[in-house]
Amino acid sequence: MPRPFGGSASYRAVLALPHAPGLFAAAMLARLSYGVLSLPLLLSLRQATGSYAVAGTATGLFGLAVALLAPLRGRLVDRRPGSLMLLASGYAMLLALIAGTGVVGAAPWVAVILAIAAGTVPPPVGPLMRTLWGVLAADEAQRQAALSLDTAAESTVFALGPVLGGALIVMGSPPVALAACAALVLLGFAAFAAALRRSSVRLPGGAAEAASEQQSRWNPLRVRGFAALLVVACCTGCTLAVEELAAIAAWGAGATGALMALVSVGGVLGGLLYGKRQWRAAPGRRLAALAAAGTACFALPALVPAVPAAALALLLGGACIDTQLITSYLLVDGLVPAGSRTEAGSWLNSAFNLGVAAGAGCAGVLVDRAGAGAGFLAAALVAGGAAVAAVLVAYDLGRAPAPGGPAPAARGPVHPAVTDGTSGRDHGDLADAEILERSGNC
């Protein structure tokens, strides 16, 4: 189990780590292609078929494929490093095809098949970058600061991405905006691959250290506490979706848009403050405390159904959500063997996204039948479920260490190894096999 550390780390020190600025900037560019996507994809499918119903169905199935297959894509990148650019190329090609159907038109079944196919291949970037932070950081304090910075930056990208997507549609058309997304996929992942090649990062426990096959290919779902961690992520995503629909029913779309923006603001500010602070409690206990605090935040609109109360709840709730995610990423790095961390991070992303989808579907029925108050109450209860699961995570961590070896807190600093021309190592196709062999978004 990860141990508390004795000091905090600055974000300047994190960005001064060898190769960190290039990898971080390239990963953010790759993430931007995901942040921009939602409106161009939906409206291109609508333009192709002439139906919002078909476009909505196709977009929903796209999201379902993204979420369900994310762990398999993470595992693929764990096992086959060169697959990252292959996935990016296939994903960009399918987005370009959908953009083309928006220009020439397409039968509904063609649009749906293309959307599902595109959802099967988005390459992981968030889980991979978080694995790389675990390698670049010299100690657990730097690792926490790095993951906090990464999460805050990712939240910013996904908050601003739809604005950029809308601007591209206004300046051109939905297919033009979607084609720009496809180009951004290729540009972002090519930059990420180039940064990986230049860094020549060698993860601990690679082939040179003769790691066992069992450890390097451990299934994250078999790790003690990991299943409960997925429940935390799923309940958190569900809470957010239910809260949003309840707010729309109570105060309308305009007020809800401003309220939900506070979730992003709170998440960014809370994540950055969290990363700089020295914590005495172990991550498992911190997760339980943060989930309990989140439950209190989301209970407030149920008790005081007024816009000011909801604004305060969502601002603080956003901080709780992002810090829960950061703590979950820390736990993944400590619990899961290095060869499965991208897959494990993808499982977390999938659990959160599936929770959002389930929450949206169930909340719509609940609010229609019982009103906004029932929606706010349901959000608080689901947040309470996340808190219970977080307590189980802390309990499981206290019972036994993670399989696959000691936690990273027990390791010494690990720095990137830069090969030279006399080493005999081939940098290889994407980033040297060992860069991703034991590391593992969308």
| Cα–Cα distance for residue pair 336/402, rounded to 1 Å | 7
Residue 270, H or E segment: helix 226-276
pLDDT of residue 215: 47
Q: Is 17 in a helix, a strand, or coil? A: coil
Enumerate residue ranges in the chain where pLDDT < 50: 1-6, 203-216, 402-441
Three-class HEC string of 38-81: HHHHHHHHHHHHCCHHHHHHHHHHHHHHHHHHHHHHHHHHHHCC
Nearest to 255 by CA among 317, 306, 295: 306
**Sequence-ordered alpha helix ranges (H) in 200-225:** 213-216
Classify residue 434 as exposed, middle or buried by CB count within 10 Å of its CB (0-12, 13-18, 19+): buried
| Cα–Cα distance for residue pair 176/174, rounded to 1 Å | 5
pLDDT of residue 179: 95
Quote the pTM value. Answer: 0.81
Q: Is 168 in a helix, a strand, or coil? A: helix
pLDDT of residue 410: 36
Residue 91, H or E segment: helix 83-104
pLDDT of residue 171: 92
- Quickly count: other Cβ atoms within 10 Å of residue 421's Cβ: 6
In the chain, CATH 1.20.1250.20 sits at 19-213+418-442, 219-403
Q: What phi and psi values does residue 181 have, to the nearest 5 degrees?
A: -60, -45
pLDDT of residue 76: 86
Report angle CA 417, 28, 413 to the nearest 5 degrees: 30
Q: What phi and psi values does residue 260 have, to the nearest 5 degrees?
A: -70, -25
Architecture per CATH, domain 219-403, reads as Up-down Bundle (1.20)
Domain 19-213+418-442 has CATH 1.20.1250.20: yes
**Do 37 and 59 contact (CB within 8 A), yes or no?**
no
pLDDT of residue 159: 85
Q: What phi and psi values does residue 419 have, to the nearest 5 degrees?
A: -80, 155
pLDDT of residue 207: 40
**Do 392 and 317 contact (CB within 8 A), yes or no?**
no
Report residue 192 as tokens.
Answer: 């990420």
pLDDT of residue 202: 55
Cα R_g (the chain), whole angstroms: 21
